[in-house]
Amino acid sequence: LSTIHGWHEENGAEMIDAGMWLRPWYYPAIGENINDAYVREAAHVREHVGIVDVSTLGKIAVQGPDAAEFLNRVYVNGFKTLPVGKLRYGVMLREDGFVFDDGATARLGDDDYFMTTTTANAAKVLARAEYLLQTAWRDLKVHVTSVTDQWAAIAIAGPKSRSVLSDLTGTDLGNDTLPNNHFTHVKIAGVACRLHRMSYSGELAYELYAPAKRGRTIWETLIAVDASYQLKPYGLEAMGTLRIEKGHIAGSEIEGRTTLKDLGLEGLASGKKPFVGSVLRKRPVLEDAMRPSLVGLEIAGDIGARAGSLLYG
């Protein structure tokens, strides 16, 4: 459970198992079902501002003089030139060329990086990193350490998100001082936090990282912000909807059978360096026009289709 879990239960969230965690699925108003609730929550983020508990993201400290080289090998895109103070979205492949995981990594110092992974694959990413460093890449001077439980994380998204955070931190967070894919250090309710500017919702958005034991304090401070901002929490269902609507990949699309091309991420792969999966991703079978394709469907009317539904046409 995240350190904010108690608040979710106290405020009526419907919970769902996600990876090894119990997460808020949606926050129903009186008389609402899941469909009513998540549509309302997603629309509210698009129009105003919302927050979601993302403490469940995997968080890995990657440290050592060869940390940049290590990241350059595990991600399909380049990380050697990432400057201190910036973060970069990256995708990992398995050795067989299929997509393994995605997430953002921030460079905190010359030899100090903060990697995030999906909730579902956090343990797998760490295990594979340790395996590679103990076998194939024993020459690299790198330590990888899980810090998932040390950090609470809150995403704040929507057109009013910058105003909310500027108000609470007393900090100028404009484009000149905090451009996209950068981070800074702020204080909220007296708690030192790291603020990442990165969006998975397609809206102006940020991620706040604070010591886990202070996560609820930060969350409640955000909830109590001036009513004129109309800030509200949203759950996992709305979060997935926001991602899909804007073309970001969703967790269910990284299921071991999709390629970079399937996900529209072919252009992310560097042609200037080797990386895990760089050879086998070019197998002819993965270019076969008859292999299954990942497509989006629009369902007419009010017919609902849950995850895992079989569709016939």
Contact between 220 and 211 (Cβ < 8 Å): no
Q: Per-residue confidence at 82, pLDDT binned at 50, 70, 90?
A: very high
Q: What span, in angstroms and rounded, lies between the C-alpha atoms of 119 and 55? A: 9
Q: What span, in angstroms and rounded, lies between the C-alpha atoms of 313 and 95? A: 35
Across residues 109-132, what is the average pLDDT?
97
> pLDDT tens digit string along 198-257?
998 989 999 999 999 999 999 999 999 999 999 999 999 999 999 988 888 887 888 888
Contact between 230 and 48 (Cβ < 8 Å): yes
What ranges do the domains of the chain cover? 5-54+151-206+214-245
> pLDDT tens digit string along 89-113?
999 999 999 999 999 999 999 999 9
For residue 54, which of 220, 235, 249, 245 has the smallest C-alpha distance? Answer: 235
Length of the chain measured in residues: 313
Q: Which residue has the higher pLDDT, 297 or 7?
A: 7
Residue 212, φ and ψ in degrees, nearest 5: -55, -40
pTM score: 0.93
Percent of the chain residues topping a pLDDT of 70:
99
Give start and end residues of each alpha helix (H) in the chain: 5-10, 34-47, 67-74, 122-134, 161-169, 215-223, 236-245
Superfamily of domain 5-54+151-206+214-245: Probable tRNA modification gtpase trme; domain 1 (3.30.1360.120)
